Structure 1
Amino acid sequence: MATQLATRDNSPVAVIRQNLNAMAPSFKAALPAHITVEKFTRVAMTAVQNNPDLQNADRNSLFGAIVRLAQDGLLPDGREAAIVMFGKQAQAMPMIAGVLKKIRQSGDVAYVSAQIVYSNDRFKWTLGFDENVEHEPAPLDQEPGEAVAAYAVAVLKDGSRLLEVMRKSEIEKVRNVSRAKGNGPWVQWWGEMARKTVMRRLSKRLPMSTDIEDQFERDETLKTIGQDTGPSEVHEIKLASRLDAIEAQIEDEPQTGRAEEDHGDQHDGAERITDDLLSQHEGK
């Protein structure tokens, strides 16, 4: 009797998808209630499929970046967050929209915003007992000019108004002590990094400053030269390393010559290995 052979897809996209599916229990434990595991995994896979560099990235760094975004409750959709490359390393990058989302969800802040000021804008701010800012962008028929500053504002539920303004020279000082001052987000996403920098300074004055500061601390794109790897980062890399073992087994399996009736048993075996690895992670 003829035997139908089954072929396993060992392409980078397929292997990454299998690993993400294996990480579902960890995602479920980390994600907030309003984001389902299915939605998060789907958005993460779309990000990988749309960026060939991510498909060839160091897998430990890729899975570590995805885990960090799950912990922060941010979707890697290019609006709330993105996964960016530093050489072969993938890193999580919360976008300013994602940061502002987290602040609004705290319930302590009625309004929050972070903006870039350009040379042809009309901009005025006052400090003292009544912090205030007036910002009128350049007319649409006029070029905005060069970026000269960034500012962040927040209005608390009790009506208090908070303001932080940073000149471009101050922002560049922060950039110059960054691990990635000459590449990655500071080159490709300067506006995002400038807005996050001034928002980080303002966040220290917000009621839930500890929570939002933790998110900034996990933002790899804001880490400075000499900053140590934190315990959570080591923990996430260990998880990625264990899942990488699953990938190695997937890639080592023969692609052909496998009877269709045996394929289901092998899939069950892979699931058992996944469960064992994830239980090891959850038990630590």
Structure 2
Amino acid sequence: MGQMTADQYLDQIQSKLMQTLTEKKDAMPPGFNQQRFALNCVTVIRDMMKDRKKKENLQTVDINSIVLCMIKGAYLGLDFLNGECYAIPYKGEMTFQTDYKGEIKVCKRFSNDPIKDIYAKVVRKGDAYDEGVEGGAQVLNFKPVPFSNEEIIGAFAVVMYADGTIKYDSMSVEEIRHTKDTYSKAANSQAWRDSFGEMCKKTVIRRLSKLIDLNLDKVEMIKAYEEGSGFEFENQQISGGSTRQAAQLPGTENVVDAFAPGQTTGQKTLEQKPQPAVTPQDFRQAPEREPIAEEIPPQYYPEEEFMSPDDYPDDEMPWK
């Protein structure tokens, strides 16, 4: 297996991502900006490489799997850098997962019936919550205790259509935990441990989406949206004795080691013979900020033009 520097590693991801975006352009939503999307994806991976634990997780993931994961965000028009979806290393593959606000964006964009608003709330002990049907119409009333830190007892989600009608769904915390423990691909992930309330909202809004008439008219969109839930309702035997093969793109090489200890060569092209690998100190440095990982990365970059990793200004370098 060959070795490459950090910049070569990012260059390869960017090159394969741009190639696949071009090949799959007909499956992208209207107005999709592939240059900006690719730039943001490379920034996300660069930031992951700055964190020791995340960098170790990346060692187990094939570059092709990273590209295929990020393409799924493109199919739905979701952005990794803006925290609308996440790329999570899991069992040797890069797993695609939507965020709560990504769920809302998909529903608003692809609903056949115009949506005025859609949201989810957690219900805590002591909050006033009542739901029912009056005169054949669904009615829901909610009055939370201000700034309450009491335990979460449930969550609900509401979609308000432009014509004034609503649909809602609700789940007790027991239902949410059962769904997590039974179907989640990563039931013990940092997202569930550190952002339980957000995951409760995402879970109930994903169930509400089953009641929304979504016009996902391409098979790529449908598959990406199903995987993005973070739940696996079929083929649950995967976690048993079976093994997963790394995702592959046609005609690509094996991934090379961008993380092995050594010194960087500064070369921009791969050669057949092994090259000294980069050390963590050789990664392009950026101003300190909140690390990004499984949950909430920073905001979009304003640049519209396509940039290679070497083109990032040192003072503008931008998940949890």
TM-score normalised over the length of structure 1: 0.71
Find the aligned partners of 1:91 and 1:13 in 2 and give their Cα distance. 23
Q: Are residues 202 and 185 of structure 1, via their aligned partners in 2, closer, same or farther at CA, if it must alter by over 3 Å?
A: same
Q: Are residues 87 and 208 of structure 1, via their aligned partners in 2, closer, same or farther at CA, if it must alter by over 3 Å?
A: closer
Q: Are residues 83 and 120 of structure 1, via their aligned partners in 2, closer, same or farther at CA, if it must alter by over 3 Å?
A: farther
Q: Are residues 190 and 86 of structure 1, via their aligned partners in 2, closer, same or farther at CA, if it must alter by over 3 Å?
A: farther
**Aligned counterparts, 1:1-284, within 5 A:** 10-28=4-22, 29=25, 30-52=27-49, 53=54, 55-59=58-62, 60-106=64-110, 108=113, 109-127=115-133, 129-140=136-147, 143-178=148-183, 179-208=185-214, 214-219=223-228, 221-224=230-233, 226-227=235-236, 237-239=247-249, 242-245=251-254, 250=270, 252-253=272-273, 255=275
| Aligned alpha-carbon RMSD (Å) | 3.3
Aligned-pair CA distance for 1:253: 4.8
Bigger fraction of residues in helix: 1
Q: Are residues 92 and 213 of structure 1, via their aligned partners in 2, closer, same or farther at CA, if it must alter by over 3 Å?
A: same
Q: 1:56 is aligned with what amino acid?
A: Q
Find the aligned partners of 2:17 and 2:74 in 1 and give their Cα distance. 11
Does the 8 Å CA contact 1:138/1:144 hold for their aligned counterparts? no
Aligned-pair CA distance for 1:47: 1.0
Q: Greater CA radius of gyration, 1 or 2?
A: 1
Q: Secondary structure at the match of 2:270?
A: helix
Aligned-pair CA distance for 1:112: 1.1
Aligned-pair CA distance for 1:166: 0.5
Aligned-pair CA distance for 1:120: 4.2
Does the 8 Å CA contact 2:66/2:94 hold for their aligned counterparts? yes
User: Between Structure 1 and Structure 2, how many residues are aligned?
Assistant: 241
Q: Which stretches in structure 2 are left out of the alignment for 5+ residues?
A: 239-243, 258-268, 277-320
Aligned-pair CA distance for 1:73: 1.6
Does the 8 Å CA contact 2:4/2:256 hold for their aligned counterparts? no
Does the 8 Å CA contact 2:206/2:229 hold for their aligned counterparts? no
Q: Are residues 122 and 182 of structure 1, via their aligned partners in 2, closer, same or farther at CA, if it must alter by over 3 Å?
A: same
Does the 8 Å CA contact 2:93/2:247 hold for their aligned counterparts? no
Q: Are residues 61 and 118 of structure 1, via their aligned partners in 2, closer, same or farther at CA, if it must alter by over 3 Å?
A: farther
Of residues 68-77 and 212-221 in structure 1, the stretch that sits farther from structure 2 once superposed is: 212-221
Q: Deviations over 1:138-184 (max 9, x none)?
A: 324xx421221111101223332101010101111111212322335
Find the aligned partners of 1:214 and 1:160 in 2 and give their Cα distance. 29
Aligned-pair CA distance for 1:218: 2.1
Q: 1:90 is aligned with what amino acid?
A: M
Identity %: 20
Q: Which stretches in structure 1 are left out of the alignment for 5+ residues?
A: 1-8, 257-284
Find the aligned partners of 2:82 and 2:126 in 1 and give their Cα distance. 28
Find the aligned partners of 1:17 and 1:220 in 2 and give their Cα distance. 30
Does the 8 Å CA contact 1:123/1:136 hold for their aligned counterparts? yes
Aligned-pair CA distance for 1:11: 2.1
Q: Are residues 67 and 251 of structure 1, via their aligned partners in 2, closer, same or farther at CA, if it must alter by over 3 Å?
A: farther
Aligned-pair CA distance for 1:203: 1.5
Does the 8 Å CA contact 1:153/1:162 hold for their aligned counterparts? yes
Aligned-pair CA distance for 1:130: 2.3
Relative CO higher for 1 or 2, CA cutoff 8 Å, sep ≥ 6? Answer: 2
Find the aligned partners of 2:210 and 2:146 in 1 and give their Cα distance. 34
Q: Are residues 10 and 149 of structure 1, via their aligned partners in 2, closer, same or farther at CA, if it must alter by over 3 Å?
A: same
